[in-house]
Structure 1
Amino acid sequence: MTLDGRARGLRILALVVLVIGSLTFALGPTATAAPGPGSPLPSADPFYSYSGSLSGVARGAVLRSRPMTFQTPTLRTPITGSQVLYRTTDQSGAGRATVATVLRPLVPGPTKLISYHMAYDALGSQCDPSYTLSGGYTNATATAEQAIIAGYLAAGYTVVVPDYEGERLEWTIGRQSAYAALDGVRAAQNFLRLPRSTPVGLLGYSGGSIPTEWGAELAPKYAPELNIVGVAAGGLPVDLAHNLPYINGSPDWAGVIPALIVAYQRAYRLSTDTFVSARGTQAMNQVSALCISQFASKFPGLTSAQMVKAPYTGLLDVPQVVRAINDNIMGSQGTPRAPLFLAVGHYNAIGDTLMITGDVIGLAHQYCGRGVDVTYAQYDGLKHQQAFAAFEPQAFQYLTERFAGLPTRSNCATIPRGNSLAPTPIP
């Protein structure tokens, strides 16, 4: 989720800056493209809304498009791309529209497509990747991931970046995020007129691991025609029934608690007035239009117990909440066909201060038992933010090898059982 700007190990980003700088000098200025700094928020931009019927419209069909320039609020690059509004599917199976950013590499070559899933962890539309990548807004997380994306472009990859939370900013919702990611790949292929045989990689850390893992899990049934050659997911929230007690009262992550309830309220239409306390309502209102970098550490010491009112003693006492959590347990809806790289930090006995190490191990072990080719990496001594720096270079190497058709180095034989991922009993 939020990435530590002081984290070491991202020397590759310095190289990316040098590459981009040299290319800027070589190519000169580019024409101004909309949108950009000063553009309206996606929530106020008609491009993001689609009022027509989606009945009969193919998943991944491009509904409209416009050019964009890959930039920050203060730095332009010679990289141009397109934003595409496309048809996808929500958690309940209904048709929805969302936006993806499609970026071509500066040096043409055989098309290798990366679906990069930013950890935008948003409840407000200013956090949408399509908005940040075009210079409308930024934060430390977006800046770091934008540099990673530039590295893939410099390495010759075509990159599609979906706004996978959708128009209503429904954060952590598994199937919906996967559908948006997979349909974003379809939309990019449609827009660029690429064959379905084009090799595809899925990549994301923390919040971005949700569409990545779920995309791998659901692709065999939802998008079997896609040629997904590799998947790299790090810092995964496998079962939020385990994460909630871990961050309960945390000085750094307690703001996630009200944000999750806002997301579930949007996606599952929870009747929050039946269980949320006055303090909980206040916290939900405060986070309801923010990015995680703005709310994660803003409620130090906030507990699950403070979020609810009698007769409940915590959010896991609430049947509605438990049902929503159980609906989003990774590994519960399908089995990936593509090889997986799964990674997580391990700072203390439980996890990386946000994610549960044993849950990621349990997911890897479960998939190995189903015959999936899994490579698991654990970053001992690293917190969640720090593990991002360790994950990204390994993910780059892993995906590069998958696109090259090299053998994997699966360590399924040595992955322990890990935690149980059985659904939490409904109270």
Structure 2
Amino acid sequence: MIPVPLSARSIRAIAVCATALLATTAAVSAAGTASAQSAAPPVVPLPSVDPFYTYDGSLEGHAPGAVLDTRTMPYGFHQLATPITSTQVLYRTTDQFDRPTTTVATILRPLVPGPAKLISYHMAYDALGSECDPSYTLTGNGAYSQAGTFEQGVITGYLAAGFTVVVPDYEGPDLEWTIGRQSAYAALDGVRAAETVLGLPASTPVGLAGYSGGSVPTQWGAEVAPSYAPELNVVGAAAGGLPVNLAHNLPYVSGSTHWAGVIPALIVSYQRAYDLDTSAFLSEYGQQIVDTVSSQCINAFASKYPGLTDGEMVRAPYTSLLDVPSVVESINDNIMGTAGTPRVPMLLAVGDVDGTGDSVMVTADVEGLAHEYCERGVAVTYAQYDRMSHSEAFLPFQAQAAQFFTDRFAGATPTSNCGVVGPGNDLAPTPVP
């Protein structure tokens, strides 16, 4: 257990995040008052019906990260325009089963010139419908999301600090949430595509960053980068609020007031990725909820089913999703720490509001992952924010990540606190029933 009190430096970094958010608000306010007609960003079609997102040619001749198309788009903010523009890139990537596929990333250039440095920022869009894709919401379209608003503040902060920021739609065209390797491939290939678009060498320093759902491409990206994208100069990865082993998260959120809605949403995602025959195990009520959430963003489903239990989702003879062999096999395929060993310093962070977790992520799972990496010789900083829920831990994590990347991009000697990281939970696969 490593409580992390907020130091003066952390408080200053939090202030930077807050200032960035205010700067974003000020920018869109200025854009909105300049002309009533320019207050709203141009309406763009949903990715599901936008032809830009579809590549009709063969992908077999294209290497991972190959640029297939680009376009200039606005950088908007909750239905308001800003003076900033972005470049969207359609590129070739790889799915969970090593098959070629495509996705889109948004490239944002720094607000001040300087040496090239790049952050692959992974938003926690936790989506089942294309209206949640960052490439869509970052244009200023889509429904309001408080989490998305704060993440745009963080992104703008990195832009103001001279970073190029790449924001991939890492869930892919089918919106497959929490699927590990393919999320990592999409993030790393987004970096490759961005470097091509911007004419940057592979030696350009890169940081991987993400919280909650965004921790998935971050952590998995650090694991698979040595084998999948060894030419990229990744200098560090900062992941907060990690779903390390969903077999442990599932009983934790079952019956929850605020997070039980993620249970049917995860079923949708795993059915898409692993072609699960959900008719073989879902109850009638479970199927009804799955159908309802199948095109929604997380803010529409996470807290909409207070008290929903894992057992209510299945029918006899099953009493839990963890009784279903195909579900357990799919979850086991996505346990963090199983795809490789990062070769870069890692920041791993999580809250602990109730002695078990941050209300959705299991604290000892993150500690167990940190301990495993430490055993493999990775320079890990493990941060535990006691008495903080998942949403409350977001700001201190961003503060610590900002300092972490300041050190990493400056070439400072990596530090770690492996000497005091406890063993945490056993992250072994769940036995298949």
TM-score range, shorter chain: over 0.9
Counterpart for residue 335 of structure 1: 341
- Report how far residue 226 of structure 1 moved: 0.6
1:264 aligns with 2:267: no
CA distance in 2, matches of 1:120, 1:243: 19
Given the two structures, how large is their TM-score scaled by the length of structure 2? 0.93
Aligned to 2:92: 87
Matched, 1:58 2:68: no
Q: Counterparts of 1:140 and 1:368 in 2: how far apart (Å)?
A: 35
Task: Give yes or no for contact 1:19–1:154 (8 Å, CA) kept in 2.
Answer: no
2-side partners of 1:354 and 1:256: how far apart?
A: 9
Q: Is the 8 A contact 2:73 2:87 kept in 1?
A: yes
Q: Is it true that 1:112 corresponds to 2:123 in the alignment?
A: no
Of 314, 318, 324, the residue aligned with 2:324 is 318
Q: For 1:357, which of 363, 383, 389 is the aligned residue?
A: 363
1:109 counterpart letter in structure 2 = G
Is contact 2:348–2:381 with CA below 8 Å preserved after alignment?
Answer: yes
Which position in structure 2 is the counterpart of 1:5?
none
The secondary structure found in structure 2 opposite 1:386 is coil
- The separation in 2 between residues aligned to 1:209 and 1:347, in whole angstroms, is 19
1:406 and 2:387 matched = no
Confirm whether residue 252 of structure 1 aligns to residue 258 of structure 2.
Answer: yes
Gap regions ≥5 residues in structure 1: 1-7
When residues 301 and 64 of structure 1 are mapped into structure 2, their CA distance, relative to the original with a 3 A threshold, is same
Secondary structure in 1 matching 2:405: helix
Shift of 1:49: 1.1
Q: CA deviation at 1:176?
A: 0.5
- SS in structure 2 opposite 1:152? helix
Give 2:20's match in structure 1, choosing from 12, 16, 22: 16
CA–CA separation in structure 2 for the residues paired with 1:29 and 1:196: 40
SS of the residue corresponding to residue 384 of structure 1 reads coil
Q: Confirm whether residue 78 of structure 1 aligns to residue 52 of structure 2.
A: no
The separation in 2 between residues aligned to 1:286 and 1:16, in whole angstroms, is 36
Q: What is the count of residue pairs matched by the alignment?
A: 417
Q: In the alignment, is the contact (CA less than 8 A) between 2:371 and 2:421 conserved in 1?
A: yes
The CA deviation at 1:218 is 0.5
Quote the RMSD (CA, aligned, Å): 2.0
Determine if the alignment matches structure 1 residue 156 to structure 2 residue 149.
no
Contact 2:22/2:153 (<8 A) preserved = no
Change (3 A) 1:17 1:299: closer
**Aligned pair partner of 1:226 in 197, 211, 232:** 232
Shift of 1:36: 4.6
| Residue of structure 2 in register with 1:286 after alignment | 292
Match of 1:131 in 2: 136
Q: Is the 8 A contact 1:344 1:360 kept in 2?
A: yes
CA–CA separation in structure 1 for the residues paired with 2:180 and 2:22: 37
Aligned to 1:383: 389
TM-score (norm 1): 0.94
Contact 1:29 1:78 in 2 (8 A): no
For structure 2, the 5+ residue unaligned runs are 1-10
Residue 38 (structure 1) shift: 2.2
Q: CA deviation at 1:75?
A: 2.6
- Cα deviation for residue 12 of structure 1 reads 2.7
Is 1:424 aligned to residue 425 of structure 2?
no
- The answer (yes or no) to whether the contact 2:70–2:87 under 8 Å persists in 1 is yes
Once the two structures are aligned, what percentage of the paired residues are identical?
A: 64
- Contact 2:195/2:201 (CA < 8 Å) preserved in 1? yes
Which digits, 9 at most, give the CA deviation of each residue in 1:65-85, with x for residues without a partner?
100121124332222120000
Tell me whether 1:143 sits opposite 2:149 in the alignment.
yes
SS of corresponding position for 2:181: helix
Give distance in 2, aligned partners of 1:255 and 1:22: 35
Q: Is the 1:342–1:377 contact (alpha carbons within 8 Å) kept by the matching residues of 2?
A: yes
- 1:17 CA drift (Å): 4.6
Letter in 2 for 1:363: L
Q: Deviations over 1:231-256 (max 9, x none)?
A: 10000000000000000110100000
Contact 1:189 1:196 in 2 (8 A): yes
Q: Which runs of 4+ in 1 moved over 6 A?
A: 22-26
Pick which of 73-82 and 40-49 moved more.
Answer: 73-82
Q: 2:183 aligns with which of 157, 173, 177?
A: 177
3-state SS, counterpart of residue 55 of structure 1:
coil
